[in-house]
A and B are shown apart, each in its own frame.
Chain A
């Protein structure tokens, strides 16, 4: 199932859904970091899992990725990719330290990033719940900082029971001149993907 196979209703609903998710993620981040986070309209696509790595195209770049499972009316995995070169900056903001203080990525810093990942992903889950009435909760997050290829490959390989397609949401977020753009991957199990697509359809039609 590719973007072209979505009906117009589904496509519109998906756009609106990701707008809501992104908006609440930006609000949550603004509050957390005490800074004004500006957000562009997110780009959301459905693509086959094996095309994800090519689409994200970060390959040998080092990324920070927060990974968690989603339980409830939606069974899925989520992977949030954060700009690795901004990690220390984000942690300084989060922990209200003088910019440039954080230099090492120890346990506290790792926890901070996992928390941020959790919050962003939860914003999208809440949007899903509000907009199409499917409730879900995230698991405890895990973190990896490594080559994009290695991380994405590992997630794709782990997904025997997950469906063939994923939602890819690219968030362009900026804070002053800093690019805090994130990429969110949601990989639903087959049955959950069907549920989501049906709900997207029903939501727009019902409105």
Chain B
């Protein structure tokens, strides 16, 4: 059993009793894709919504990051029709722009758009609002513990 921490711009896979974690999430969006039946899951800690043509670090970006996440799960023997998702984050810590335009909101929208395109159902989410989050996801139980200063602990 290992705690596997996923930093900004990273993508990691966990199996069996692993716990996938991401801390201090503000506008970043954490996308978790997991096998509905088997203890295997991947966590993407994405920073920006869309990968610019010239950039290479794909896991920084929600769109290319989710593509990678799915690719890796398939390579690990997971069937696409067995993949479910949970998404977290995308907060707007400071209300300095009109709604719909903050990085957090754009990250959430991109995540939902890509997952919808891949026909992956979002089973749970704790997104938006204005508070930071810490995520700990149990690959075995498929439950995410979402901790925040503002809201305490939620199980999603």
Contact yes or no, A157 B91, CB < 8 A: no
A142-B94, A144-B94, A151-B93 given as contacts; is B23 within 8 A of A158 (CB)?
Answer: no
A175 contacts the other chain (Cβ, under 8 Å)?
no
Distance (whole angstroms) from the CB of B58 to the closest CB of chain A: 16
Q: Is B150 an interface residue (CB 8 A)?
A: yes
Do A150 and B130 contact each other (CB < 8 Å), given the known contacts A62-B149, A69-B96? Answer: no
Compute how far the CA of A107 lies from the CA of B26 in the bound complex, rounded to whole angstroms.
Answer: 22
Q: Is the CB of B103 within 8 A of A150?
A: no
CB of A149 within 8 Å of the partner chain: yes
Query: What number of B residues sit within 8 Å (CB to CB) of A?
Result: 26
Tell me the complex Cα distance, A104–B101, Å.
31
- A 124-163 binary contact with B (CB < 8 Å = 1; else 0): 0000000000000000001111111111111101100000
B103: chain A residues within 8 A (beta carbon) = 154, 157-158
Q: Given A60, A62, A143, which contacts B94 in the complex, CB threshold below 8 Å? A: A143
Query: CA A148 – CA B24 in complex, angstroms?
Result: 7
Interface residues of B (CB under 8 A from A): 8, 23-28, 47-48, 91-96, 102-104, 130-134, 148-150
Closest to A139 in B: B96
Give the CA-CA distance A188 to B134 in the complex, in Å: 30
Complex contact B48–A150 (CB within 8 A): no
Give the residue name and chain of the B residue nearest to A84 (CB): B149
Q: Contact check: which of A60, A69, A144, A158 meets B130 at CB < 8 Å?
A: A144
A150 to B133, CA, bound (A): 7
Residues of chain A at the chain B interface (Cβ within 8 Å)? 59-60, 62, 67, 69, 142-155, 157-158
Do B96 and A150 touch across chains, with their CB atoms under 8 A apart? no
Closest Cβ–Cβ distance, residue A158 to chain B (whole Å): 5
Q: Please give, as numbers and ranges, the residues of chain B lying within 8 Å of A69 by CB-CB distance.
A: 96
Q: Are B93 and A60 in contact (CB under 8 A)?
A: no
Partner of B8 from A147, A151, A153 at Cβ < 8 Å: A153
The docked-state distance in angstroms from the alpha carbon of A143 to that of B24 is: 17
Q: Would you call B27 and A154 a contact (CB within 8 A)?
A: yes
- A151 and B26 in contact (CB under 8 A), knowing A146-B131, A157-B47? yes
User: Complex formed: what's the CA distance from A60 to B131 in Å?
Assistant: 13
28 A-B pairs (CB sep. < 8 Å): A60-B23, A60-B24, A67-B94, A69-B96, A142-B95, A142-B96, A144-B93, A144-B94, A146-B131, A146-B149, A146-B150, A147-B23, A147-B132, A149-B23, A149-B24, A150-B26, A150-B131, A151-B93, A152-B26, A153-B27, A153-B28, A154-B26, A154-B94, A155-B93, A157-B28, A157-B48, A158-B102, A158-B103
Q: Which residue of B lies closest to A50 (CB)?
A: B8
A67 partner residues in chain B, CB cutoff 8 A: 94, 96
Q: A144's closest neighbor in chain B, by CB?
A: B93
List the A side residues contacting B133 at CB < 8 Å: 150
What is the distance, in angstroms, from B45's C-beta to the closest C-beta of chain A? 10
Closest residue of A by beta carbon distance from B47: A157
